[in-house]
Structure formats: structure tokens, C-alpha cells
């Protein structure tokens, strides 16, 4: 019997693959035999990663909310063969103010990348898979921030809650054609995004760590492997779910 945790012959588009969780997801897919289409704005980082992966890969440099980039990524997946799904991982969290101090332009920027980017790729890949009739997967990155009321990152929180709602809708609409759709909600994971926030707010790290039952933040591998699990046959009866990967932080209240 073939190993249900392998991805041989399947190709997955990974957005936000130039660093952090997305780059680790790409490595983990490739290590399990899958092909990867890497998407992000940093062309050099994508080329370097593509060259380092053991399996088939392609790189598409551009913005996730640009429909031309979305089309190029789907075409690259088709060219690699066996297009099986997308991990909508690209995301930004660059601002830190209360909602009352947040200019609408910041709402626009965060929602455009986090929510519209996810919707644009889900739409294109969902259509492709429905037509191909192969089944497939959509895994979206939300966050524990979308399940709580963390202060000073209102647009980010709202974008992530919306991604969970979008994921449930996709699961219901695409279930009949065998496309399973889930989101993964990480707690705090050591990446550039978090380093940036913590540098701007030194008390934040202490607060995040002290409230974690495990007493630490997570690694990129600890976020990436549950994402990859949802792409595999080992997760063939899971759809419409948000998998919280937070070291018990939410359970601690
Ligand atoms: N780290 C955490 O603690 C944490 C917790 C919960 C959820 N998450 C979620 O996990 C995902 C990955 O986070 P991370 O911590 O790995 O972030 P990161 O290290 O900042 O990486 C973000 C990735 O998204 C890409 N990206 C940003 N804007 C883009 C755009 N407009 N078009 C295309 N690509 C874009 C970046 O590449 P370029 O700059 O090259 O475009 C980069 O590859 C995000 O959705 C984040 O919200 C993270």
C-alpha cells in the first residue's frame, strides 16, 4: 500500500514561498515527492529556493492579488503536471495601531494581500481542479489572531477571520468535486513577520511566551508540517476545518 503521507506526482502552488512558513512548506512538499510552484515578489529568493529543492519546481514572481500572476502560477502548475492544489500562505501584518488610529489605506493594503490574494488563488485553482475532475486541496493560512481580539492589529485579525469563513464556504462549494478546503491557524511562529512585530514592541514577546503552556513560540517546521498533512491522503476526510497550531495558547485562555 502506498504511503498516505507522500505527495508523489502531485503539484502544489505555495504563495509567500520566499521565506518563513511558506519556504518550509515548499521544502516539506518536495521532500515528500511533490512538485511545487513558488510564488512571492522576491524573484531571487524564489530562484534560490527552487534550485535547492530535490523535486520538480517552478517560480512565479509577483503579487498574489494580481490576476496575471495567479494565471501564470496555475499555468506553471499545469506544466509541471498533476496540479493538486494551493497553499495560500502569503500574508502581511506590518501595522500596529488601535482601530481608531488606523487609516483606511492600511485596511486596504492588509485585506488586499491577505484576503483578496487568498480569494484570487482559491478561485483560479478551485476552477481548475473542478474542471480537471481530479479532486485536490486548498489550504489557507489564517491565524489565532482571527479567533481572538488581539489589540493593535485590527485589519490583520479581520483578514484572518474572513479567511476562515471563506475556507468553510469553499469546502461546501467544492466538496462535491472532491476538493478539500481547510485553514491552518498558527500561534506565534519564529519568522521575519513576528521578529518585525516584536522588535517594534519588545514587551510583546514576553507576553506571548509567558501565556503559552509550552513556554515557547513555534518553529517554521511546526507550522509547515500540519499544513502539508492537510495536502496528503492522510487527511482525505477533513474539510471545512480550521486546524489551530498554537502550542496550546488558545486553550490557556
Ligand atoms: N509567523 C507567525 O507567527 C504567524 C502566525 C499566524 C499566522 N501566520 C501566517 O502565516 C503566513 C506566513 O507568515 P510568515 O510568518 O512566514 O511571514 P513572512 O516570513 O513575513 O513571509 C511572508 C511571505 O509572504 C510573501 N508576500 C507578502 N506579501 C506578498 C504579496 N503581496 N504577494 C506575494 N507574496 C507576498 C513574502 O514574500 P515577498 O516579500 O518576497 O513577496 C513572504 O514569502 C501568513 O499568512 C501569516 O499571516 C504567521
- What is the per-residue pLDDT for 20? 98
Its pTM surpasses 0.85: yes
96: annotated active-site residue? no
Considering only residues 20 and 208, tell me which one the structure prediction assigns the higher pLDDT.
Answer: 20
Is the distance from the beta carbon of residue 227 to the nearest atom of ligand 1 less than 6 Å? no
Domains and CATH numbers, the chain: 11-244 (3.40.50.720)
- Choice among 143-152, 200-209, 234-243 with the minimum mean pLDDT: 200-209
Catalytically annotated residue among 156, 159, 211, 212: 156
Give the three-class secondary structure for 151. Answer: coil
Tell me, what's the pLDDT at 195? 83
CB 182 within 8 A of CB 142: no
Q: Mean pLDDT, to the nearest integer, of 53-73? A: 98
How far apart, in whole angstroms, are the C-alpha atoms of residue 63 and residue 210? 36
Cα–Cα dist 142/157, whole Å: 9
Looking at residue 115, what is its pLDDT?
99
Nearest residue to 227 (alpha-carbon basis) of 142, 146, 152 = 142
Check residue 110 and give its pLDDT.
98
Residue of 72, 91, 113, 186 best suited for mutating to test ligand 1, as the one with most atoms within 8 Å of CB: 91
Residue of 21, 156, 192, 197 with the most ligand 1 atoms within 8 Å of its CB, for mutation = 21
Cell digits of residue 3: 504511503
Does 160 qualify as catalytic in the annotation? yes
pLDDT of residue 1: 64
**Residue 33 and residue 57: Cα distance in Å, rounded?**
11
The predicted structure's pLDDT at residue 152: 95
Beta strands in the chain (DSSP E): 11-15, 35-40, 57-61, 83-88, 136-141, 179-186, 242-245
pLDDT in tens, 118-131: 999 999 999 999 99
Any residues with CB less than 8 A from the CB of 17 and at least 6 apart, and which? 23, 25, 26, 36, 38, 39, 40, 46, 49, 89
Predicted confidence at residue 14, as pLDDT, reads 99
Percentage of the chain beyond pLDDT 90 is 91
pLDDT per position as a tens digit, 200-224? 777 877 877 888 999 999 999 999 9
35-36-40 Cα angle (round to 5): 170
- Predicted local distance difference test score (pLDDT) of residue 147: 97
Separation between Cα atoms, residue 182 and residue 197, nearest integer Å:
27
Q: What is the spatial distance between Cα 212 and Cα 209, in angstroms, rounded to a whole number?
A: 5
Whether residue 192 has its Cβ less than 6 Å from ligand 1: yes
| Cβ neighbours of residue 209 closer than 8 Å, sequence gap 6 or more | 215, 216, 217
Please give the Cα distance from 120 to 227 (Å, whole number).
20
> Ligand 1: which residue has its CA nearest to atom 7?
143
**Is it the case that residue 199 has pLDDT exceeding 90?**
no
- 181, 167 Cβ separation under 8 angstroms: yes
Give the CA distances from residue 19 to residues 26, 36, 97, 115, 190, in Å, rounded to whole numbers and listed in that order: 10, 14, 26, 20, 12
253: three-class secondary structure by DSSP: coil
Residue 163, all three cell numbers: 479567511
pLDDT at 165: 98
Q: Cβ neighbours of residue 214 under 8 Å, at least 6 residues apart?
A: 247, 248
Residue 54 alpha carbon to ligand 1 centre in Å = 23
Mean confidence (pLDDT) of the chain: 96
Residue 220 and residue 192: Cα distance in Å, rounded? 11
Amino acid at each position: 500500500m502506498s504511503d498516505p503521507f507522500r505527495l508523489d506526482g502531485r503539484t502544489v502552488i505555495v504563495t509567500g514561498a520566499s521565506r518563513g512558513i511558506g519556504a518550509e512548506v515548499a521544502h516539506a512538499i518536495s521532500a515528500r515527492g511533490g512538485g511545487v510552484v513558488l510564488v512571492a515578489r522576491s524573484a531571487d529568493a524564489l530562484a534560490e529556493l527552487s534550485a535547492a529543492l530535490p523535486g520538480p519546481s517552478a517560480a512565479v514572481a509577483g503579487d498574489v492579488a494580481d490576476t496575471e500572476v495567479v494565471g501564470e502560477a496555475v499555468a506553471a502548475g499545469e506544466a509541471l503536471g498533476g496540479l493538486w492544489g494551493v497553499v495560500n500562505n502569503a500574508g502581511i501584518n506590518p501595522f500596529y495601531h488601535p482601530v481608531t488610529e488606523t487609516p483606511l489605506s492600511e485596511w486596504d493594503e492588509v485585506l488586499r494581500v491577505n484576503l483578496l490574494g487568498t480569494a484570487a488563488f482559491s478561485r483560479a485553482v478551485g476552477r481548475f481542479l473542478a474542471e480537471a475532475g481530479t479532486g485536490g486541496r486548498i489550504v489557507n493560512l489564517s491565524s489565532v489572531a482571527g479567533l481572538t481580539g488581539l489589540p493593535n492589529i485590527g485589519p490583520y485579525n479581520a483578514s484572518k477571520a474572513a479567511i476562515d469563513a471563506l475556507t468553510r464556504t469553499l469546502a461546501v462549494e467544492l466538496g462535491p468535486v472532491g476538493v478539500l478546503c481547510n485553514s491552518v491557524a498558527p500561534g506565534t511562529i519564529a519568522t521575519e513577520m513576528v521578529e518585525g512585530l516584536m522588535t517594534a514592541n519588545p514587551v510583546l514577546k514576553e507576553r506571548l511566551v509567558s501565556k503559552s503552556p509550552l513556554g515557547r513560540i513555534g518553529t517554521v517546521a511546526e507550522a509547515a508540517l500540519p499544513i502539508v498533512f492537510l495536502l496528503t491522503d492522510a487527511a482525505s476526510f477533513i474539510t471545512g476545518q480550521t486546524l489551530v497550531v498554537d502550542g496550546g495558547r488558545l486553550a490557556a485562555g
